[in-house]
Structure 1
Amino acid sequence: MKAVILAAGKGTRMGPLTENRPKVMLQIANRPILEHIIIAMKAAGIREVLIVVGYLKEKIINHFKDGSAFGVKIEYIEQQAQRGTADAIGVAGKYIDGRFLVTNGDVIAGIPDIKKIITEKGDAVLAAKKVISPQEYGILFVNGKKVEKLVEKPRESTSDLANAGIYVFEPSVFDVIDKTVPSPRGEYEITDSIQAMIDSGKKVNYSPLEKWHDIGFPWHILEANEIMLKGGEDIQWEIRGEVEHYATLQGNVAAGKGTIVRNGAYITGPVIIGNNCDIGPNCYIRPGTSIGNNVRIGNAVEVKNSIIMDGTHIGHLSYVGDSIIGEKCNFGAGTKVANLRHDDRTVLVELGGRRFDSGRRKLGVIMGDNVHTGINSMFNVGATVAGGAHIDPGEFIRGKLLAKR
C-alpha cells in the first residue's frame, strides 16, 4: 500500500514559526512532524510514500531526499496552488494504482492505529478520535462503524468523534474528487468528497484512534513534545557527548555527539539535547525540554518545558519557560520570559490578526528565527515575535511584535 502525505501548506496559524519552514518541518522531540509520520508509516509496513509539497518545498526535499535514509521510497508531487485537501489528494491520482492511505501532514497517529486503519474495509475509511470540544473539529455522525454524515465545527453536537485527518481510499475516490465543487471558502475539501460518497451509497466506515496529535497551533507542538518525551517513542536515551564530573542528570536525558554538559548543570528529564551543544556551567534544564543542534545554554540559565531550535544561544542569567524559540536566536544577559498570568486564567495569543485562547495556564513566548534580545529584556505571556526582530535592552514585549527593528 502506498501513502500520500499532504504537506503543501504553510501553517499560517503557527505565526512566526513558519516564516522560514513549512509547518510539517517544525520539530517535536528534535524530529520534524513529517519525520514522525514517516517513521510510524514504515513501522506499519508502508514502504512507498508520496509527499504533496508546495510552500518551501525544498526544505522537505532536502531533508528526506529519496527516503532511503528512513527506510522508504519517497516521491514528491507539487500542488501548484493551495486549493484544498481534495485538490491535494487529486494531484497524486496518476501515481496511485490501488488502495492507499492519506494523512494530513500535521497529524501524528500511533503505529498500532495506522496498522489498524489500513486493514479496515470500505470504499473509504476515516480515522476518528473522541474529543472534548466537538465545535472545534469536523465531526463524524456514525451508526455502528458506518459514517452517515460529516459536519464541520457544529455549534451543538450529539457526537464527539472528530475527523482525525487520516483516511484510506480506493482509487475510485479520484472520480468523486473530480466532481467536487468548491466550498464556501473557495477550496476543494476532501470532506465534501467523502460526503458525496456517503450520499451516493458508498460504504464509508471509521476507525477509532488511541493516539493522536493534531498540530494546529504553536502550543500543540509543546503539548506533543511533552507527551512524546514522556513516552520516549523513537528516542534513544543515550549520552553521546561529554558530561563533566559535577554535572547532574536525572531521569531520561539524551545528548548528541559533540555536546558537552559542564559542571554545575542540573538536568531533570525527560530532556533531549542535540549535537554539538554547550550546556552550562551552572544551568537548570527542566522536564519537557527539547534542545536542537549547536545550541548554547549558559551560566545561571533556566529552561523549562520548551523547544529551543538549532543554533540559538541563551548565554547567561535568563529564564525561558513553556516557550518555542526559533533558530539562531541570541539572548542578551537577563532575558526573561513570563509564562503564567497573574489572574491564573488561560493565556491568549495573537496569530494572523486574531486572538486565540491557548487553553493553557502556562505559555511563554513564540519566537521566530534570528531574533536578538538586549540585556534584561522581558516577554509577557503569550507574546509572539517575528523573525529577525531586535529587542532593545530592558524592553518589555507583550502581544505581537511584527516589525524587524
Structure 2
Amino acid sequence: MGGVKAVILVGGPSKGTRFRPLSLDDVPKLLFPIAGKPMIYHHIEACSRVKGITEIILLGFFPENQLSAFIEQSQKELNVPIRYINEVKVLGTAGGLSRYREQILQGNPDYLFVLHSDICCAFPLEDLLNFHIKHKRICTIMGTRIQKEYANQYGCLIRDENTAELIHYAEKPETFVSDMINCGVYCISPSFFDIMAKTTKDLQESLQNVTLDSYPEITKKGFEQGRLRLEQDIFVPLAGTNSIVVYPYVGFWRQIKNAGSPVYCQELYLSHYAKTKPELLAKGDNIIGNVVIHPTATVDPTAKIGPDVYIGPNVKVGKGVRIFHSIILDETEIKGHACILYSIIGWRSEIGFWARIEGVPNYTPFLYSQDKRKGITIIGAGAQANGEIIVSNCIVMPHKQLDRNYCNEIIL
C-alpha cells in the first residue's frame, strides 16, 4: 500500500491546572477553538493536504465518545480517513507509539508524520517530508530558532549545519545549550520503530546497572510504569549517532499550554489565514483586521470587532460593543457598549452593559509565564458580569456572578 500516514499525539484529560477554567467544561482541550477551528483541526487539515496521505491517527487516552463526532465530521469535510487509538493507560509520547506499532504500521506506509497536539504553526509537512527523504535518516525533527533567553524552556537541539545531523538533544536544560528548539513535529521512517525498541531495551538494561545520574533526563520509575518519552528517552541517546537530522523551520510557532495561550496562537493563525485563506475572514465596515465570525452569531452593525477576534456559534453582540484580541465562545451574550480586550469569554456567559473585561498581554514565546501582572483574562463557562464593572487580568471560575470591580484575582 505504501504512502504516508500521520500520528497526532493528543494525550488525555490533564491532571494539571494550566488550562483551567476552560478545561472545566465538557470540551476536551484539543477541541478548544482557535481561529474558529478546534485546536487539533489545524494539524489534521495540514496532514490532509500532503500528497499520498492514507490515514491520520489520533493517539491518546481521551474517552472515545468525546472525539467521535469531531472525527466523523472532519473525515467528511477533509476526505481523509481518521482513526482514534484509545490508549489503555498513560504510556508517554513514545510508549503509545511502541504499544500500538502494528496498528500504526498497517498498510506498510513509506513514511509517517508524528505531531504533538499542543502546538501552533504553519505545518510545512510537504517540505519536511522532502527533507527527510533527501537525508535518508530514520527520523527528522522540525526545529526553529527563538530568542536565546527563552530557549531553555523547551527541548534544545544542536545541529551540524553542514550535514543537518542532530548532535545533541537537551530537554529544558538548566543552562543555555542552543537557540534552536524542538517544534514537536517529526517525520519518521518505519525503521524508527525498530530503533526505538532497541533503544528502550538498551536503556532498561543500563538502568539496572548504573545510577540515574548517568541519565539525568530519564526516570527509572517511568520505565517501570511502562511510560516512554519520545524526547528524553529516545532522542537523547540517539543524538550524535547519525540517526536523526533537523529540518530548520522558519515561520510562526507557539506551544499551547495555559488557558491564555489560545489568544496569542489565534493571532498567528489569523495572520496566516490572511495570506492563505482570506475567504475565511469576516468583512464589513465594523470589522478591523483579521476576524472570524460564526454564521449563526448576531453582531450589531454598530459594534467594532477586531483585530484578532473569534466570535463563536449563537453569540449575541450588542450595540456599541468593542472587542479585540479575544475569543468569544458559543451562546455568550455581550450587551451594549461592553468592551472586551485580550480575553476569553466562556461558553454561555453574559457580559453586562458598559462592562469592561480586559487582559494584560504578555508577548513572549514562553506562554505560561509566572508574571502574575500580565495575562489574558479568562471568564469560565456560564459566568455573568454585571453592567458597568471592570474585570482586569483575572481568572474567573465557571458560573460565577461578578458584581464589582476585580483586578489581578482568581475568582473561585
- Pair 1:384 & 2:395 matched: yes
| 3-state SS, counterpart of residue 300 of structure 1 | coil
For 1:93 and 1:18, how far apart are their aligned partners in 2? 30
C-alpha deviation, 1:138, in angstroms:
0.6
For 1:27 and 1:202, how far apart are their aligned partners in 2? 40
Q: Are 1:364 and 1:379, in contact at CA under 8 Å, matched by a contact in 2?
A: no
- Pair 1:118 & 2:119 matched: no
Within 5 Å, which residues of 2 pair with 1:263-342? 266-340=286-360
C-alpha deviation, 1:77, in angstroms:
0.3
What CA deviation, in whole Å up to 9, does each residue of 1:336-361 have, x standing for no partner?
223349xxxx599xx9xx97238x96
Which of residues 248, 256, 259 is equivalent to 1:218?
259
For 1:372 and 1:83, how far apart are their aligned partners in 2? 40
**Residues 1:347 and 1:171: Cα distance change in structure 2 (over 3 Å):** closer
Structure 2 spans left out of the alignment, 5+ residues: 205-217
Match of 1:169 in 2: 188
**Residues 1:347 and 1:173: Cα distance change in structure 2 (over 3 Å):** closer
Structure 1 spans left out of the alignment, 5+ residues: 239-251, 255-260
**Residues 1:78 and 1:202: Cα distance change in structure 2 (over 3 Å):** farther
For 1:324 and 1:128, how far apart are their aligned partners in 2? 30
Amino acid at match of 1:148: I
Q: Which has the higher relative contact order, 1 or 2, with Cα contacts under 8 A spaced 6 or more apart?
A: 2
Amino acid at match of 1:114: L
C-alpha deviation, 1:281, in angstroms:
4.8
What CA deviation, in whole Å up to 9, does each residue of 1:376-395 have, x standing for no partner?
343222x11222x2224225
Q: Are 1:87 and 1:189, in contact at CA under 8 Å, matched by a contact in 2?
A: yes
Which of residues 54, 57, 62 is equivalent to 2:61?
54
Structure having the larger proportion of residues in strand: 1
| 3-state SS, counterpart of residue 7 of structure 2 | strand
For 1:225 and 1:336, how far apart are their aligned partners in 2? 21
Match of 2:282 in 1: 253
Match of 1:139 in 2: 156
- Pair 1:237 & 2:240 matched: no
Match of 2:8 in 1: 5
What CA deviation, in whole Å up to 9, does each residue of 1:253-297 have, x standing for no partner?
25xxxxxx9xxx822131110021111152221211111111101
C-alpha deviation, 1:217, in angstroms:
2.7
Match of 1:89 in 2: 97
For 1:140 and 1:347, how far apart are their aligned partners in 2? 23
Amino acid at match of 1:64: I
Amino acid at match of 2:56: V
TM-score, reference length from structure 2: 0.80
For 1:59 and 1:198, how far apart are their aligned partners in 2? 37
Which of residues 390, 399, 404 is equivalent to 2:409?
399
Moved more, 308-317 or 174-183: 174-183
What CA deviation, in whole Å up to 9, does each residue of 1:89-146 have, x standing for no partner?
22431121343110001223425x2112223121111111111111110101222311
Q: Are 1:268 and 1:287, in contact at CA under 8 Å, matched by a contact in 2?
A: yes
For 2:221 and 2:293, how far apart are their aligned partners in 1? 42
Report how many aligned residue pairs link the two structures: 366
For 1:128 and 1:271, how far apart are their aligned partners in 2? 30
C-alpha deviation, 1:185, in angstroms:
7.7
For 1:70 and 1:391, how far apart are their aligned partners in 2? 41
- Pair 1:77 & 2:80 matched: no
For 1:222 and 1:92, how far apart are their aligned partners in 2? 34
For 1:143 and 1:204, how far apart are their aligned partners in 2? 11
What CA deviation, in whole Å up to 9, does each residue of 1:134-159 have, x standing for no partner?
11101012223111221011232241
Match of 1:248 in 2: none
| 3-state SS, counterpart of residue 206 of structure 1 | strand
For 2:327 and 2:173, how far apart are their aligned partners in 1? 34
Q: Are 2:342 and 2:358, in contact at CA under 8 Å, matched by a contact in 1?
A: no
**Residues 1:374 and 1:320: Cα distance change in structure 2 (over 3 Å):** same
Amino acid at match of 1:82: V
Say what the alpha-carbon RMSD is for the aligned residues. 2.8
Match of 1:188 in 2: 228
Q: Are 1:384 and 1:400, in contact at CA under 8 Å, matched by a contact in 2?
A: yes
For 2:63 and 2:377, how far apart are their aligned partners in 1? 24
Which of residues 68, 72, 87 is equivalent to 2:76?
68
TM-score, reference length from structure 1: 0.81
**Residues 1:27 and 1:394: Cα distance change in structure 2 (over 3 Å):** same
Amino acid at match of 2:7: V
C-alpha deviation, 1:194, in angstroms:
2.2
| 3-state SS, counterpart of residue 316 of structure 1 | coil
Using the aligned pairs only, state the percent identity. Answer: 23
